[in-house]
Structures are given as structure tokens and as C-alpha cells.
A = this chain, B = another copy of it.
Amino acid sequence: MRRSMVSATGLAAALFCLSITAQAADKPRQAARPTGPTSAEVLAASTPTDWRSPDPENLLYMDLAQGRVIIELAPAFAPAHADNIRKLVREGWFDGLAVDRVQDNYVTQWGDADGTRTPKTAQTKLAPEFVVRGPALAKLPFTPLPDRDTYAPEAGFSDGFPAARDRKGGQAWLVHCYGMVGVGRDMALDSGSGAELYAVIGQAPRHLDRNITVVGRVLRGMEVLSALPRGKAAMGFYDKPEDRIPITQVRLAADLPADQRENLIVLRTDTPTWAAYVESRRNRREEFFPIPAGHIDVCNMPLPVRTLDATKDRGR
């Protein structure tokens, strides 16, 4: 009786490519199944120009005993915070600090929980960079999604980062999708500096958008942050200091010799390939889906990331 195992595989077909005509027992109302390439086929047909190599000045490697987390900073949205985080990393700020909070369906947070350290070169507070306005907005790449968004007039992608835009209000901002990295702050809007950071580990907490500086996203290693034990104290803090998860070190890719860098490439979000990828996820072509959604939320678009040198994938 293989049903259950097959069943499991069937569910997961969501993510994979199968191009057989559906047998519609519960006959869908739609006239016909969508045609066109699946997500896997779009990616298989991509060419090198569809991908970009993130700037090593924007790549953080955060090492925990549990594994490596790679974060890409977004200076187009938060230049001062990205700069301050580079300074913090370069002075070894995070080395020996810890993940001190894991709140289920919300955030994993790390940094200087006890407030015992003072940065040597970095700022301790910064003006908020919650939204982009003015000349910076005009320069910002933005590829809108075709579908409405619950929270914003427009949602889409800016150089690989999920973002929203309000053209009437003259502003754009990064949105709190799964894996986005933000800057912890106190009540004062300028109290964040990057000395404490968090990553979203659940349903996108979009109410945080425009209320906090979002500074980047996890490109690889989210499962390191999302599978940590949840803290038992209020708001998911670890109630005992010894439960905290130590950070071995955080390094900037630019500061490492070439042979110690991970050659990640990321799918560009301003190409016809990206548009085809979006469409393959708006209307799944895999057999598993008799009813394609016909819509996509900005936080349901995964960002494809690959290792350029395939040999580096070994052992991961």
C-alpha cells in the first residue's frame, strides 16, 4: 500500500515540474488548464544574464554551530543602516553574541541582548530608513507584480527584494516577508542601529512595514534560524541566558579571500525570465493543481539562489 508515501510526494508537487493533464474529478470551473512552462522549466531555460552576483560588500556570513546564514544587505533602501552594520561586523560586534529571541510565527532575533557592549566605530542610533522618498525613489528599480496586494497600492520586487510602492504618496519600502531582515529598535524611531537584528520566520508581519527599518534578506540558511527552539518567556525571549544560541562570528564577504567566499548568484527580478517565473507561480502548471490560483502574493515569490561554482554545493 504505497498511497501514503505517494500522497506525500503528491502534496509536494507544488514545487516541482510535472506536465501531465489533470484528471479533474472535482471538475474545475476554469475552462482550461494554464499552459506554459513550470517554475522548474523557467529556471532550467534561464541564461547567465538572468542572474546577478550580489556585491560582496553587501553579503554577511553569520556562523552558528547550527549552520551558516547568508544575508544580503539592501543599501538602496537603507544606506545608513547597511553602512553601520558593515562597521559593526568589521569591529567584530556580533562575534560571541547570541540569538536571544525566537517567537513562533514571528521573528528570530540576535545581537547584544544584555547591552553590555559599546561599538567602537559604529553609530548607536540612526535616523529611520523606513521608506524611500524623493530622488532615491526615482532611481529605485521596481518590477510590480500583476496582482493586488492586501496592504499596499502596489507590490513587487526591487533588485531581488520584495517591496511595496505608493506612487501617489511618493514612497517605496521593503516588505516584511519570510526571511527579511530588520533592525530592532526601541520606541524612539531613531533608536535602531543594526546592533540587534531580526529575521521573519512566519507569516509576513506586514503591519511592521514602514514602522521599522528593513535592511536586507536571508539568501541562504533560513532553516538555521527558523528551526531554533522557541523561547518560553514573553515575546519568545529565552528565559535563561544559557539557552541562547551563540553566534560564532559574522563576516563580510568582501573581507574574505576569494577562496573563502560563497559564489552565490541570485535570479534578477527585472527580466522576461523573472516575468515568466512569476506567471509560472501565479498559475501553477503542475498536474497537482486543478485550480490555478491566478494570483500571487509578494511574499509567496521565492527568490532563486544558486551557487555559481557547482562544486561548492557539495556537502551542503
Find the B residue at minimum CB distance from A129: B26
- Total A residues in contact with B, Cβ cutoff 8 Å: 106
Residues of B within 8 A of A178 (CB): 105, 202-203
Given contacts A3-B186, A4-B113, A300-B205, contact A211 B290 (CB under 8 A): yes
Option from B5, B12, B105, B118 in Cβ contact (under 8 Å) with A103 = B12
B5 contacts A169, CB within 8 Å?
Answer: no
A52 at the interface (CB under 8 A from B): no
Given contacts A191-B7, A196-B4, contact A202 B205 (CB under 8 A): no
A262 at the interface (CB under 8 A from B): no
In whole angstroms, what is the CA distance A56 to B104 when docked? 26
- Other A-B pairs beyond A1-B116, A4-B115, 9, CB < 8 Å: A6-B191, A7-B186, A9-B235, A11-B198, A11-B212, A12-B236, A177-B203, A203-B299, A206-B293
Residues of B within 8 A of A186 (CB): 3, 6-7, 9-10
Question: Which of A8, A103, A193, A290 has the most chain B CB within a 10 Å cutoff?
Answer: A8
Residues 194-215 (chain A) with a chain B CB within 8 angstroms:
195-196, 198, 202-212
B150 contacts A296, CB within 8 Å?
Answer: yes
A149 at the interface (CB under 8 A from B): yes
* 3 A-B pairs with least C-beta separation: A12-B235, A4-B112, A10-B186
A7 contacts B150, CB within 8 Å?
Answer: no
Given contacts A25-B190, A230-B227, contact A8 B237 (CB under 8 A): yes
Given contacts A13-B187, A189-B24, A196-B4, contact A203 B203 (CB under 8 A): yes
B4 contacts A205, CB within 8 Å?
Answer: no
A25 contacts B189, CB within 8 Å?
Answer: yes
A184 at the interface (CB under 8 A from B): yes
B191 contacts A130, CB within 8 Å?
Answer: no
Residues of B within 8 A of A236 (CB): 12
Query: Chain copies in the assembly?
Result: 2
Residues of B within 8 A of A131 (CB): 26
Find the B residue at minimum CB distance from A1: B115
A78 at the interface (CB under 8 A from B): no
Option from B20, B109, B116, B222 in Cβ contact (under 8 Å) with A8 = B109
In whole angstroms, what is the CA distance A295 to B204 when docked? 13
- Chain B nearest CB, measured from A162 CB (Å): 11
Residues of B within 8 A of A189 (CB): 23-26, 290
A185 contacts B117, CB within 8 Å?
Answer: no
Find the B residue at minimum CB distance from A5: B115
Option from B14, B177, B188, B229 in Cβ contact (under 8 Å) with A208 = B14
Option from B10, B148, B191, B228 in Cβ contact (under 8 Å) with A150 = B148
Residues of B within 8 A of A289 (CB): 207, 211
A29 at the interface (CB under 8 A from B): yes
Find the B residue at minimum CB distance from A26: B128
Residues 229-271 (chain A) with a chain B CB within 8 angstroms:
229-230, 234-237
